[in-house]
Amino acid sequence: MAEEHGPRKRRVRYKGTHPRHYKEKYKELNPDHYSDDVQKVLERRQTPAGTHVPICVDEILEILKPQPGEIGLDATLGFGGHATQILEKMMPDGCLYGIDVDPIELPNTITRIQNAGYDATQFNARQLNFAGILKLLSETDGFDFILADLGVSSMQIDNPGRGFTFKFEGPLDLRLNPTRGISAAQLLKKSSIKMLTEMLDENADEPYASEISETLFKNRENIETTTQLSDFIKESLSEKAPFLKPEAVKKSLQRCFQAFRIAVNDEFGALDQFLRNLPWCIKPHGRIAVLTFHSGEDHRVLTSFEDGLEKGIYKSISHTPIRPSGQEQYLNPRSTSARLRFAIASENIGDIMNGV
């Protein structure tokens, strides 16, 4: 076991032989001090608390081909898993910009990457929604490659305080940036049955959207936590679709939480804006990779890339998505739904965008 540094602290108390709750997983939350324990968690095909396992790393490096001297953008920095691998390929004189909308995890990631030895000329990070990437053009004349790995990181999902999952009790928040906008609980209180039904249907294809919406609307004043939301969804399904097997109920819970998350973070609006802005930010022959996790995202990326190909903005795109290998899906079950797409900018992208 790796040695613990600094003054000895009493271990966090928990019931039983293994920590079950997030805050009890003090070893996983301190990977630098407990690397062996973290490795054991990975070998059990789980994601250690407070970390994120990057997905399709080899496939993404193959698409982006980061080179020394280039300037790249990781538009969804997260834990910095992809960024770290990309940076290695760009040294000594490349520069990676990293942005993320999350003000809670971002400082930890910046510190971690800086501590790995990258200075401000090599790694340039800040809090920014990727809808606003045009702002970066005041500092650079475009990027040689751009990566977006959409959705949420494991650190965000696994932290019950952020309310991203029905698996833990927590406030029903689901915001990537909790300092902006309204929480999912507030959104629920402001929504009509029609709005809720549309949200569950359009954001997650929930087959029981209208039944669940009716129950949530009736009980909206009593829903403040993740558990309360999931209990009312389960109650609704057990009344209106009693034949559903537990696995199908779990799928509905996942879809409903996803629908709320997409709504409170305006994820489709941000993605559409990002895709519209990409051609202004990528250099001729530049490489773009986007990793999506559900059909609503993948469809948007495909449509935008196909449109760009037709207009000559992109010279090639992936018509079929690249999937994580069977081994990756086995080792990291969170990668199962991932789909990777690429677009390569044409030589005269600038002229096309400027209508020349």
Ligand X SMILES: C[S@@+](CC[C@H](N)C(=O)[O-])C[C@H]1O[C@@H](n2cnc3c(N)ncnc32)[C@H](O)[C@@H]1O
Answer whether 289's CB lies under 8 Å from 57's CB: no
* Total site size for ligand X, rule CB under 6 A: 21
Q: Tell me which H or E stretch contains 5.
A: none
Strands 71-74 and 143-149: parallel
Binding flag, residue 76, ligand X (CB under 6 A): yes
Binding flag, residue 153, ligand X (CB under 6 A): yes
- CA triplet 312, 313, 318: central angle to 5 degrees? 90
Strands 71-74 and 95-100: parallel
Binding flag, residue 101, ligand X (CB under 6 A): yes
Q: Which of 54, 142, 163, 308 binds ligand X (CB under 6 A)?
A: 54
Answer whether 146's CB lies under 8 Å from 96's CB: no
Binding flag, residue 99, ligand X (CB under 6 A): yes
Q: Which residue has the tokens 């948007």?
A: 300
Answer whether 315's CB lies under 8 Å from 344's CB: yes
CB nearer ligand X, residue 151 or residue 170? 151
Distance CA 199, CA 168 (A): 23
CB nearer ligand X, residue 150 or residue 302? 150
Binding flag, residue 136, ligand X (CB under 6 A): no
Q: Where does this chain touch ligand X (CB under 6 A) — which range of 11-19, 129-137, 158-166, 325-333?
A: 129-137
CB of 152 to ligand X, least distance (A): 6
Cis ω before 324 (30° cut-off from 0): no
Reading the block at residue 203, the tokens are 């954001």
Binding flag, residue 308, ligand X (CB under 6 A): no
Q: Where does this chain touch ligand X (CB under 6 A) — which range of 5-13, 86-94, 146-154, 347-355?
A: 146-154
Neighbours of 100 (CB within 10 A): 26
Q: What are residue 143's phi and psi, to 5 degrees?
A: -115, 145
Distance CA 114, CA 68 (A): 18
Q: Which of 48, 50, 80, 94 binds ligand X (CB under 6 A)?
A: 80
Q: Which of 34, 79, 118, 168 binds ligand X (CB under 6 A)?
A: 79
Binding flag, residue 149, ligand X (CB under 6 A): yes
Give the residue ranges of DSSP H helices in 8-148. 35-43, 57-64, 81-90, 106-115
Q: Which of 31, 50, 81, 324 binds ligand X (CB under 6 A)?
A: 81
Residues β-bridged to residue 343: 288, 317
CB nearer ligand X, residue 100 or residue 144? 100
- CA triplet 342, 175, 277: central angle to 5 degrees? 35
Binding flag, residue 129, ligand X (CB under 6 A): yes
CB nearer ligand X, residue 31 or residue 54? 54
Binding flag, residue 176, ligand X (CB under 6 A): yes
Q: Where does this chain touch ligand X (CB under 6 A) — which range of 25-33, 75-83, 225-233, 339-347?
A: 75-83
CB nearer ligand X, residue 106 or residue 212? 106
Binding flag, residue 151, ligand X (CB under 6 A): yes
CB nearer ligand X, residue 148 or residue 216? 148
Reading the block at residue 71, the tokens are 């300037």
Interface with ligand X by CB under 6 A: which residues? 52, 54, 76, 78-82, 99-102, 129-131, 149, 151-153, 176, 270
